[in-house]
Amino acid sequence: MSFKLSSNFKKPLTLLMMGGPGVGKGTFSRLLSKDFGLPELSSGNELRRITQTGEGKFVEEIKKIKNSGKLVGDDLIFEIISKRLDHPEFEKGVILDGYPRTVNQIKQFLAVRSIDMSIKIELNENILIKKITGRRECEKCGRNYNLFSFKDNGYDMDPLLPKVEGKCDDCYGCLMQRSDDNEHIIKERLDVYNRLTLPMELYFKKINIPILKFEPKRGVKDYEKFREYVLQNISAI
């Protein structure tokens, strides 16, 4: 069911998905995009698309940065995302996943486009670490799956498995475990995320951008509850 939210707003509707690595914001973004009739724009998928297709002037620079193990700088990711948002498919709105992720990036983005709502997905960090180590990613299109399951203390999380073991449902690409999906690196990434998130939340409060927080204790089974929660709050904008 598509709610066609874009038709109810006079300006483009921009939603920002927030959440720690592996929390499920990519999956929830994709489902929300389908239901709300808003295209999704993932910074990670966009960088992957550029390097795989060889399109545009950023290809070699992105490859060099990724090979060095560094993060793409604020100015470069801003230029990449801004250029992508100029495409007609984003005229009515967008669900952003993975960008902006710092206060400086938010300020850069808000200079050219508004953010109507931030949606933060949260999970207990011990559960999150186990969930990330079970993650598998399609090497071609980037779609995520998960081998992890957990049922205790209010949590009822099923694995997110492909129809064919080891193969992506969308493109039949091979599913791989990312090299950085190990406990030591995950804890480092969570520490960085937590240090960046609080300033972001404080800044959003300062400039009156609403922040919704949701804990999907049942994983994707909580999606309908999540969708209704988001829909109710968007209606109040």
Tell me, rounded to whole angstroms, the distance of Cα 236 from its chain centroid.
23
Residue 75 falls inside a structural domain: yes
Q: Decide: pTM greater than 0.85.
A: no
* Residue 100, preceding peptide bond in cis (omega within 30° of 0): yes
Q: What is the pLDDT of residue 58?
A: 87
Give the DSSP letter of residue 56: S
Range of lowest pLDDT (69-78, 80-89, 111-120): 69-78
Residue 61 falls inside a structural domain: yes
CATH (domain of 118): 3.40.50.300
Distance CA 74, CA 190 (A): 20
Residue 28 falls inside a structural domain: yes
Q: What is the pLDDT of residue 69?
A: 62
Q: What is the pLDDT of residue 120?
A: 96
- Nearest to 231, CA basis, from 84, 151, 223, 141: 223
Residue 159 falls inside a structural domain: no
What's the domain count of the chain? 1
Say if residue 1 is exposed, middle or buried (CB neighbours under 10 Å; 0-12, 13-18, 19+). exposed
What string of DSSP letters covers 122-158? ---HHHHHHHHHTEEEETTT--EEE---EEETTEEE-
Residue 223 falls inside a structural domain: yes
Show the domain range for 56.
5-122+194-235
- Nearest to 97, CA basis, from 158, 60, 142: 142
Residue 172 falls inside a structural domain: no
pLDDT digit string, tens, across residues 87-112? 999 998 999 998 999 999 999 999 99
Confidence of residue 56 (pLDDT cuts 50, 70, 90): confident
Confidence of residue 5 (pLDDT cuts 50, 70, 90): low
What is the average pLDDT across 79-87? 94
Q: What is the pLDDT of residue 16?
A: 97
